[in-house]
Structure 1
Amino acid sequence: MHLLLTRPDAGAEPDPFTDALVAAGHRVTQAPLLSIVPTGAAPAFDGAGGLIVTSRNALKSVAPFPDAAFALTLYAVGPGTGALARTLGFRHVIEGPGTGRELAALIASDADPAVGPLVHLAGETLAFDLKGALAARGFTVRTETVYRAEPAGALTADIVSLLRQGAFDGVVLMSPRTAKTYAGLISEAALGAAVRPMLHFCLSDAVGRALEALGGVRVAVARLPNSQEMLALIARKASDSL
């Protein structure tokens, strides 16, 4: 399949998700719709009872970490974030299944509020009130906004041309904000009819709902909101099309 990948550009850093798509035989064209901009915040980790990370972008926006951070238990939203945390040197990583709500339940069952406040490394826009959910269970959460995501102002001329030609079999959308940005840019470029035959691979139902403004596009949603399930979804649909 020829896939349009809308995730933020990983730059020089290896991207296991893209590598897995290419290894599976897919052709991947990058069209980042969000740019990750670190805020420059320098979180304090002394006295913390643990870390919460709900995005790989948060880890990349803070690194390098001070030595004190690596001794803390790190609660990662999903396997991809957990894998990056281990690569950076974190020794105690506990992974959730992919959403903030599920991660909050996991933390509540595993952590002790008496140990100290939890430091949440987060983006400017939060999809779930994790701090509020944990506060209701007796935890103190200190949110450190370490990055913001800036949406693209337009699709590039090359991408617009390829979309008009029907060059893509599918588009990969990994967050509601990315999907909302995609839907807006597609509408502005009058490409609604061109993208309707494409399969829109969505990380979650919330991502799929963000496409409703396009009206009638084909949507396939991962069984769980993590990169492994997205890869499995794409593999299933590619097999069905053979």
Structure 2
Amino acid sequence: MGLMRVLVTRPEPDARGEADALRARGYEPVLAPLLEIEFLKGVPLDLDGAQAVVITSRNALRALADHPQREEVAALPLFAVGEATAWAGRQFGFSEVTIGPGTGAGLPPIIRREVHPEKGPLVHIGAEKVAFDLQGALEEDGFELRRVVLYRSHPVEILPDAVVADLASGEISRVLLLSPRTARTFARLAQHHGVVTETKDLVCYCLSKAIAEAVAPLGFTVRVPQHAREEDLLALLDSDASSS
């Protein structure tokens, strides 16, 4: 019996890191990134008077790598969406880092506890489209949140033929979905390629309930870890694999 084949859907370069983690655990990863990242150049960071920075994706840190305001932004306190982003933030140069629970929706209570609106605006550096309206949630409490868009993500239009065939045949039996937009793209492509009715036993491992909601209507089995962390998602995959 061959290794369990797991579809990796996140954008590069994170797809390669996730694939390495899967191989180390004894799985066979199949890479099919569903979003392509476009970094935007020459965007000012709007840091005047800011008391802290909010970052909800490692891609935002990649976009900042050669930004002319790199040192200025790294001098501010950072609110990071989760542990992986916090680690990348420290590597980037942030020295004061507060770690969120792994989702954008989990950040407002932490921000409210740690800082006060009167101390100045917050700057959210990230993508053109966001999974959670952080700005709306914080503005209700009197915060000013400036959004700085440093990258866009573009959904792919088709799945590779080999991936479609392996999904339909059951050769690929597990898929990892780490963002709502990726999950929506996977749902759309699964329908487009006609694999929904053929794929009876596919299990979608979703980082959060919001992600699961994008694929559950198609009838796929969905699994969500208790905490929105990639290591917990992989541990859930391990637990299911050992009991099957």
TM-score, normalised to structure 2, is 0.91
**Structure 1, 162-171 or 75-84: larger mean CA deviation:** 162-171
SS in 1 for 2:102: coil
SS in 1 for 2:198: helix
Q: Distance in 1 between matches of 2:6 and 2:170?
A: 11
Q: Distance in 2 between matches of 1:18 and 1:83?
A: 19
Residue 32 of structure 1 aligns with an amino acid whose one-letter code is P
TM-score, normalised to structure 1, is 0.91
| 2:32 counterpart of 1:28 | no
Q: Distance in 2 between matches of 1:154 and 1:234?
A: 26
Distance 1:212 1:219, change over 3 A: closer
CA shift for structure 1 position 212:
3.5
- Point out where structure 1 has 5 or more consecutive residues left out of the alignment: none
- Deviation track 1:63-82 (CA, whole Å, cap 9, x = no partner) reads 23521111111000111111
How many residues in Structure 1 have an aligned counterpart in Structure 2?
238
State which of 184, 188, 212 in structure 2 corresponds to 1:208. Answer: 212
Q: Distance in 1 between matches of 2:141 and 2:83?
A: 25
Residue 120 of structure 1 aligns with an amino acid whose one-letter code is H
2:225 corresponding residue in structure 1:
222
Q: Counterparts in 2 of 1:138-217, with a 5 A limit?
A: 138-214=142-218, 216-217=219-220
CA shift for structure 1 position 196:
2.4
| 2:134 counterpart of 1:130 | yes
Distance 1:94 1:18, change over 3 A: farther
- Point out where structure 2 has 5 or more consecutive residues left out of the alignment: none
State which of 53, 56, 77 in structure 2 corresponds to 1:54. Answer: 56
Distance 1:140 1:235, change over 3 A: same
Q: Contact 2:46 / 2:148 at 8 angstroms: preserved in 1?
A: no
Q: Contact 1:196 / 1:218 at 8 angstroms: preserved in 2?
A: no
Q: Contact 1:46 / 1:68 at 8 angstroms: preserved in 2?
A: no
Distance 1:2 1:144, change over 3 A: same
State which of 80, 83, 97 in structure 2 corresponds to 1:79. Answer: 83
CA shift for structure 1 position 94:
0.7
Q: Contact 1:42 / 1:62 at 8 angstroms: preserved in 2?
A: no
Q: Distance in 2 between matches of 1:138 and 1:19?
A: 43
Q: Contact 1:183 / 1:213 at 8 angstroms: preserved in 2?
A: no
Task: Name the Cα RMSD after superposition.
Answer: 1.8
Q: Contact 2:125 / 2:150 at 8 angstroms: preserved in 1?
A: yes
CA shift for structure 1 position 154:
0.5
CA shift for structure 1 position 46:
4.3
